[in-house]
Amino acid sequence: MLKQTFKFALRSFRKSGFLHLINLLGLTLGLSVFFMISLYIYQEKSYESDFTHKDRIYQLSHTMLGNRTALGAPNLPYVLNEIPEVETFTSFKRSASTKLAWDDQEQIVKMLRVDSSFLEVFDFELLKGDPETVLDEPNFAVIHEEWAKDFFGSTDVIGKLIHVTKHDLVEDSTYQVPVIINGVIKTPNFKTQLQFDLLVSEQRPATMSDGVGGWQNSTVYNYIVASPAATEQLLDRRLSDISYKYVYPKTVIGGQGTKEDWKAESLYSDSYAESLSTLRTNSDTRGNLMPALNTSQVNTLTIIALAALIISVFNFINISTARASMRMKEVGVKRIMGSSKLMLILQFMLESFLLILLASIMALALVEVLVKFKPESIGIVVDYSVLHSQEWVFGLIAFILVLTFLAGIYPAVYLSSGRLAVILKSGAAKNSFSVLNAGALRKSATVLQFMCSIGLITAVITMFLQVDFLRTRDIGYQSKGVLVIDNTSLLKESKETFAHELSRLPSVSGAAYTTRLPSSITLEGAQPIPINDSTNMSFSIFGVDSMFFEVMDMKFVHGHSFFESTNSGATEISPEYVPVVINEIAAKRLGFENPIGQFIGERAKVVGVVQDFVFSDLRESIEPVLMTSRPGKGRRYAFSHPLVVKSSISKPNIDEIQEVWSRFSQEEMKWHFLETNYSSLLKIEMQGFRAVLIFSIVAVIISCLGLLGLAMFIIDQRTHEFGIRKVLGASVADIMKLFGSSFAKLMSVAFLMALPVSVYFMQNWLSNYADRISLNAWIFGLTALIMIIIVAATILFQSLKAGRLNPVDTLRNE
């Protein structure tokens, strides 16, 4: 019986090839969007899933002077045994670019310098080596499987001796450390925050540092595995007790205050716990290894995936029942031959299952191709295969079965509901098949499809306008024609001479050092500065040269730079105070009507106010900035202060700059264009927009296929009506108008229902941006126009077909 039912299903596909092709295409596209987005969300939500204790691993972040950083105090691991909830812990340092040498080969690698307990917290699976002893001795290395294959061509590398050449920017020295490979880590199945090519074991000193620097210094990443009963709040209290016990006596001499008094001190520093899930979704800590989940994008893509699935499912229902009249004789004959209604339902359910299974396979194949080639046009990057894990595969199987039931049950019940007496009298399909108020259900499904399409079109228009606004707005400085030299710390005391020599080049119109670049990622957050005895205000601090404002083409709305021009030349204002330049928002929040000459704190005197400029995340509002003259000489020169160079950018000019560099350093000059800083931030927004655009276009195409199927259904149901109207004198235009009016009514209802929903969601999405566009009425007017054009183009042929029906053919059996 099952074999016969299968043959009937295949025969039905052949008889209605075009109709089933449309159904298959729409379902494949809808499932492709759904699977692709689902796989992306599954990937983004499965970080660290390889680790046994992933739900109990916490990062111990550090806070000091208002800054919250992922790097913690190096002394903290020595006292973690005082916290009863800590089962084990590890601390490590990251070297993002370390030179590794083996025989005559060299390669830049990403390295973590770890302690012996690293693999107890992050229990990576090892291909080679014993996880209990692989890091027991100093200068043992554990390398990544993929890197081992790329560098050595094999994972049989145990016992090989390699040399790690570390370059220290502070001391400007190099040294080679012999390292023995003692293990190979298997490529993790899931994504992890720990990106490295090799781990190198490093022995922690026997005792912690006695100085305050061991506590008020952020140099290592500290992680713990806590007991199941531990919470972030409980761990925070334990860490606060440790801070009060060890740090307070070293920073507040003779202090007898309470823990609350200690928290009010300017040198207060503490640690706090963040779980892996918190780091992924809800952390404001700077410098996290864990990439932050773009919640806004995930939510937007989730809505699109559900919209595509809903549209494709309702299309399937509409198209599956669109040519019911073609199946009247089949149903009638089978009923006469003794087939029960249940058998007919099973047959039609089997047809649905075969079609959904084929569409799912095609959709998964398309997704696999996209995963392999990673086209940038789709805006998201998926690294997981469609057969990535057992739970994903089992989820797919369950999804296909549930989808078959939800999408196939109504067509099966509808097509099996044919009334034998009516069928044998060759009645119309409208009279032969009737179940569950089919007309109302179909109209409701069409309205829902229209709503989804209208919402997606509105989202695409709004997102395009917002991204275009971010791309074209005035960012407050000139980034084009500005070159950034990143590794000037190598020059040490020669930095000023180098900048002077560059300024002498005809192609260079200015060069200036800065401690921070606009629109760049930094670990330094806003710092509180006392305004008076009772009030602090947070500022983002920039240490810059006076030439910085000219190089960056920043506009002064009040005052001038740190130096003022006099008849005798450029003269520093006064040694009695510290001249500072602030931005407009800082002047506004300070309440300065005339900011020039005003003091911030005791010694910072405002000498200039520059136009607000973008210096952080594109979604954040511009915060108060305080710019001071960059430190002249001394220890700060050991740190990396990039040099910004204003030049007519061309290859000969860059070659000239590099030639000057070669006089001061044998190392390669590392540089980039400043405009790439802002472009890289904008690229993230552009990728999100492209993802929404591509998937929304596909969803609208699916909706068009559904409209086509619905139009075919209407013709099938109203064939006799159109024939009678033609006999009574209706023209082709009249029939087309009548045919299209039903769609116009449904679209009008859908637009009115979609309008408040679209406004709500788009206002919610725009709220993620401090500087944003407003939702204007013309956006929804444009959406309506686009929707009208799409609907008209989709049903034009079918409405023309309805108008040209020959009444002789349609009324022959009446």
| pLDDT for res 630 | 61
How many whole angstroms separate alpha carbon 434 and alpha carbon 717? 12
- For the chain, give the percent of residues with pLDDT over 90: 29
- For the chain, give the percent of residues with pLDDT over 70: 85
Lowest mean pLDDT among 194-198, 283-287, 670-674, 737-741: 737-741
Mean pLDDT of 523-531: 72
3-class secondary-structure state, position 477: coil
Are the C-beta atoms of 703 and 319 separated by less than 8 Å? no
| pLDDT for res 422 | 56
Lowest mean pLDDT among 104-113, 168-177, 354-363: 168-177
Place of tokens 């001190």: 265
| pLDDT for res 1 | 55
- State the DSSP code for 340: -
| pLDDT for res 126 | 93
DSSP of 85-135: TEEEEEEEEEEEEEEEEETTEEEEEEEEEE-TTHHHHS-PPEEES-TTTTT
pLDDT tens-digit map of 450-491: 898 899 999 999 999 999 998 888 888 888 888 898 888 778
| pLDDT for res 717 | 67
Greatest mean pLDDT range, 102-106, 136-140, 361-365, 769-773:
361-365
| pLDDT for res 326 | 60
| pLDDT for res 171 | 37
Q: How confident is the model at residue 120 (pLDDT cuts 50, 70, 90)?
A: very high
* Residue ranges in 133-231 assigned as alpha helix (H): 145-152
* Residue ranges in 274-389 assigned as alpha helix (H): 276-281, 295-320, 328-336, 341-373
Query: Is 611's pLDDT higher than 90?
Result: yes
| pLDDT for res 399 | 93
| pLDDT for res 780 | 92
Instruction: Look up the pTM and report it.
Output: 0.85
pLDDT tens-digit map of 324-374: 556 666 666 676 776 777 777 787 788 888 889 999 999 999 999 999 888
> Is 632 exposed, middle or buried, given 0-12, 13-18 or 19+ CB atoms closer than 10 A?
exposed
How many whole angstroms separate alpha carbon 462 and alpha carbon 308? 19
pLDDT tens-digit map of 378-417: 888 899 999 888 999 999 999 999 999 888 887 777 767 6
Query: Is 775's pLDDT higher than 60?
Result: yes
More confident residue, 14 or 290: 290
Mean pLDDT of 686-708: 87
More confident residue, 241 or 434: 241
Q: Which sign, positive or negative, has the C-alpha torsion 467, 472, 473, 478?
A: positive
| pLDDT for res 635 | 36
Task: Provide CB contacts within 8 A for 45, sequence distance 6+.
Answer: 293
Query: Is 549's pLDDT higher than 70?
Result: yes
Q: How confident is the model at residue 21 (pLDDT cuts 50, 70, 90)?
A: confident
Mean pLDDT of 615-638: 69
Amino acid sitting at position 103: D
| pLDDT for res 142 | 94
Q: How confident is the model at residue 172 (pLDDT cuts 50, 70, 90)?
A: very low
Mean pLDDT of 206-223: 84
